[in-house]
Structure 1
Amino acid sequence: MRIERYLQDSAARDGARTAIVAGETRLSYARFLDLSARMASTLRVNGICPGDRVLILLDNGWQAAVTIFATWIAGAVICPVNPSSKNARLAQIAQDCRPAMVVAEARLAHLVQNTAELADIPRLVTGDAGSFDAAIEAEPLVSEALPGTDLAALIYTSGSTGEPKGVMLAHENMDAAARSITTYLENTASDIILVVLPLSFGYGLSQLVTAMLVGATLVIEKSFAFPQVIFEKIRDEQVTGFPLVPTMAAMMLQARDLDAAYFASLRYMTSAAAPLPLAHVDGLRAFLPQARLYIMYGQTECTRATWLPPSVTDLRRGSVGIAIPGTYAEVIDEAGEPLPAGAVGELVISGPHVMRGYWQNEAATRQALRPAPHSGALRLHTGDLFTADAEGYFTFVARMDDIIKSRGEKVAPKAVEDVLCRMPGIAEALVVGVPDDVLGQVVKAVVVATDAALTERDVMRFCAKNLEDHMVPKLVEFRDALPKTDSGKASRRLAAEPANTTGSIA
């Protein structure tokens, strides 16, 4: 099924139900569909044809949601880009995807104009200085029957190299992922889901898609920069679903005198973008025992891969769960063969939710999507090391590229980070390998401390009590905040750079 059908079907079921809450704006399903259809008409009038790419450079808000669905109604492909992206990245993406139109924030009009690859491309601009209001005054586009096999989205991910790659997701890929996710989250039209994660990234975009599938209400906030504002929004809107990333969890748990009553309406929380330290898992569950915590693992290339049923969290500590419904996952060796329970190998994913490949990048596609040795079926190679137990529960070990080799021993950064996050006085931590002439690499910890008196020696001593010798950090660097990607995830690659050249780019 095509994703715009979600909105059309939900509007047909109950057009008066609130679909979007964004600041002071509240859109019913009927109004959301009407605005999207009107903007789709404007896109067509401006020459957008099925299959064209529309580059979306918008903050989280109702305009972004309307633009996304308008693009799909017009039969085009969304290419959402975080508006905090710098000129070089924007130019790379534009050169790669060759958009037919840009929809941007008014404040970014100069950035678009100064990006040579975008300067001559038609654009709509939000705000008083732009043309967005006129775009939604057109006559609604009459819905057309378009195939679900069409490309729906190009979502660019930088990966470990920093070079953007366009993940190609067809409507049928996104549909398979959304139906699987809403099945295990037990989403219904009565859910009110809050998203502060960028709609330009897979985890944030999936909140919009799944909400529209079940006819739920989506509360859109621009960011988590002011946590107290978000907590009040959760209380005031009676939010039932709260997707978060580890940095957000850390900020919640650090908040002084935070009243659990703000979160009384929460039915569930999810964590998917990066491994959630066990200390954060325990802290969230203790603080909000009524809210089920769904620990998940996924990649942009497949949206989601595993989920841990909340009922077994205590029994499966550290696990990211089992394969999501309708999909298959296994741990393999270098020859592509399944490994026995407990062995460390690469996780591969199969199912209808797996991407088509990387846009105009056959080499990267061949590396990521490879045939299984015997069946020949294509599998997504995640590049992540996992173990699996006899019951099919998976545990993340490390990114293959992140493994630190010190004194001939392999160190998984997450194992060290889990210990660091248990230390009193530490809010967040990242672990990286630093070249060493004698040891090959040494372990370096980059930490955010809540205790100003904490010293490097204190950290090393705590780690020495809880880790094997070769895993104990030899270097400790204190920072005010971990460097982050545009999506809000802590970046190991940026943390490995000198402190004065990094910092949050969220």
Structure 2
Amino acid sequence: MRLEARLRDSARRFGNKIALVAGDVRLTYAELDAQSNRLSASLIRGGVKPGDRVLTALDNGYEAVVSFFGIWKAGAVPCPLHPSIKADKLAVILESTEASVVISHARQRATAEAAIGRTKVRPLLVLAQMDKNGDLGDALRFEELAERKAKGPARRFTSGKALALIIHTSGSTGRPKGVMLTHANVEAACEAISFYLGNTPDDIVLNVLPLSFGYGITQVVTMVMVGGTLVLEKSFAFPRKIMERLAEVRATGFPLVPPMAALIAGMKDLATGDEPFLPHLRYITSAAAAMPPAFIERLQHLFPAAQLFLMYGQTECLRATYLPPEEVARRPLSVGRAIPGTRAFVVDEDGLPVEPGTIGELVVEGPHVMSGYWGDGLASVRALSPLAEGNRLHTGDLFHADADGFLYFVSRRDDIIKTRGEKVSPQEVECALYALPGIKEAAVGGVDDPVFGQVIRAYVVVEDGVTLTERDIIRHCASRLEDYMVPKSVEFRDALPRTATGKIRLGADGTNDTIRENAA
């Protein structure tokens, strides 16, 4: 079943039930279905054809959810992007996807128009939260498209093999990779997730994870699948307010990443009195990075009524493994075993399964594995092997398994930095550094951090006679990169270590762990 058909089915079964809460907006299933129908009709009138790509750069608000389903109902493919994306990167993705529409917040209009101006692509520009008295120019107002009455019969599609998402993630080359997921891929992953979490129509999930991120998107789809309620918050910038919001909405599910757990663990006055804190909270999930055992213990102390699910996944398959809550005490460092209906196991360099305790590459098999990378056949061939049912994904991550088949993450083979639950390519940050006049050499590494997993550190060599401060460099990066990519510290060097062939030899701590090409 296609993803928009899931919404239609839930609208039929739970029409008057609240599907979505985002700020002051509350939409029932019937209203979400109707708004996405109207947006779909507006996109079709605007020339959107089946298979067209639609870029969205939206905060966690009702507009993002309506956009997903409206785009699917038009037969098009959402390409969700982080709302803080900068013009240079947006232009690259716009040109690569040849998108027919860009949907953005009005405050990001200058960024969107700058990106469009740097390409030959001329998409429709749709702006959300635009001042009613503001000059739209050639742009369209999102709210009008979602409220305009539809004319004519709606499009209906049945093929689960059609693309449902292109999620862009940092690649080791510095250019964003477009992970192509079909409707069948997303449905298979979300059905498995919903099964092991035991989701029902009674669930209320509070989500602060960005909807440009696979982990965030699965919260939307799983709740629609079961007829639950999704409560969206824009960020975790104010943890205490999120704790209050969890209590206010009586959330039963709370997805987080380890940096969020670190902030919660540091809140000393949550568990007070005889009553357990948030007794209605049924489960907490964690993905995107390893969860330190100390954080696990603190979460279990603060939320004794909640089951903790530790998970591992990649954008290329959304979710690969989960650790049942009853195993957390015995195997706190494990990410569990394959999600239902799939396989995940460790292989050697020849692709053969290894013995327990032996380190090798994790491979994932099943109907949830992506169909490939957008416009990059070579990378697709390297990452995927076709199977009778689905694909085999070569994750590039090093794992080992214990005698019971439980998997343990060891390290990544590439130099991707994982910070705040997001993947960051060092080369992409280095390109931004080299754009600053006065930078002679630059390299980037990830430094272990108890809150964010890793933080980004820049190592730079400044040209003779040039004066740059750490603040100058960080401010420059902030003007060119998404906020999670901006270095948190800068180390000035007289020179960067190189090999005899001129390659920078730099590890996470600024030493000689990893060899990478200069990004200049």
In 2, Cα distance between equivalents of 1:61 and 1:321: 32
Q: Shift of residue 447 of structure 1?
A: 4.1
In 2, Cα distance between equivalents of 1:399 and 1:23: 38
2:319 corresponds to 1:304? yes
2:338 corresponds to 1:323? yes
2:95 is matched with: 95
Q: 1:186 to 1:64 in 2, by over 3 A?
A: same
In 2, Cα distance between equivalents of 1:193 and 1:499: 45
1:133 is matched with: 143
Greater shift, 293-302 or 276-285, is seen at 276-285
In 2, Cα distance between equivalents of 1:176 and 1:2: 11
In 2, Cα distance between equivalents of 1:444 and 1:187: 36
Q: Shift of residue 358 of structure 1?
A: 0.1
Q: 1:444 to 1:47 in 2, by over 3 A?
A: closer
Per-residue CA deviations over 1:166-188 (Å, capped at 9, x if unaligned) read: 00000000010011100000000
Q: 1:265 to 1:50 in 2, by over 3 A?
A: same
1:398 is matched with: 411
Helix, strand or coil for the counterpart of 1:94? Answer: helix
In 1, Cα distance between equivalents of 2:320 and 2:157: 30
Greater shift, 190-199 or 83-92, is seen at 83-92
In 1, Cα distance between equivalents of 2:199 and 2:323: 16
Give 1:146's match in structure 2, choosing from 143, 158, 161: 158
Q: Shift of residue 142 of structure 1?
A: 2.2
2:212 corresponds to 1:196? no
Q: Shift of residue 341 of structure 1?
A: 0.8
Give 1:186's match in structure 2, choosing from 198, 218, 238: 198
The answer to whether the 8 A contact 1:201-1:487 is kept is no
Identity of aligned residues (%): 46
Amino acid at match of 2:356: A
Q: Shift of residue 214 of structure 1?
A: 0.4
Helix, strand or coil for the counterpart of 2:385? Answer: strand
In 2, Cα distance between equivalents of 1:229 and 1:310: 27
In 2, Cα distance between equivalents of 1:486 and 1:266: 36
Per-residue CA deviations over 1:293-337 (Å, capped at 9, x if unaligned) read: 000000000000000000111122211001000001110000111
2:53 corresponds to 1:40? no
In 2, Cα distance between equivalents of 1:196 and 1:332: 35
Amino acid at match of 2:281: L
RMSD over aligned Cα atoms: 3.1
In 1, Cα distance between equivalents of 2:69 and 2:390: 33
1:286 is matched with: 301
In 2, Cα distance between equivalents of 1:160 and 1:498: 22
Aligned length: 431
Q: 1:77 to 1:351 in 2, by over 3 A?
A: same
2:232 is matched with: 220
Q: Shift of residue 146 of structure 1?
A: 3.1
Q: Shift of residue 363 of structure 1?
A: 1.3
The answer to whether the 8 A contact 2:271-2:277 is kept is yes
Give 1:177's match in structure 2, choosing from 189, 210, 218: 189
Greater shift, 12-21 or 389-398, is seen at 389-398
2:18 corresponds to 1:18? yes
Q: Shift of residue 486 of structure 1?
A: 8.9
Q: 1:352 to 1:378 in 2, by over 3 A?
A: closer
Tell me the TM-score normalised to structure 1 length.
0.79
The answer to whether the 8 A contact 1:197-1:487 is kept is no
Q: 1:488 to 1:218 in 2, by over 3 A?
A: farther
2:107 corresponds to 1:124? no
In 2, Cα distance between equivalents of 1:18 and 1:74: 24
Q: Shift of residue 339 of structure 1?
A: 0.2
The answer to whether the 8 A contact 1:273-1:297 is kept is yes
Consecutive unaligned residues in structure 2, runs of 5 or more? 132-139, 420-425, 427-444, 452-476, 494-520
In 1, Cα distance between equivalents of 2:189 and 2:170: 22
Helix, strand or coil for the counterpart of 2:414? Answer: helix
Helix, strand or coil for the counterpart of 1:136? Answer: helix
Give 2:255's match in structure 1, choosing from 231, 238, 243: 243
Q: Shift of residue 488 of structure 1?
A: 8.9
Q: Shift of residue 147 of structure 1?
A: 1.2
The answer to whether the 8 A contact 2:311-2:319 is kept is yes
In 2, Cα distance between equivalents of 1:333 and 1:114: 47
The answer to whether the 8 A contact 1:231-1:262 is kept is no
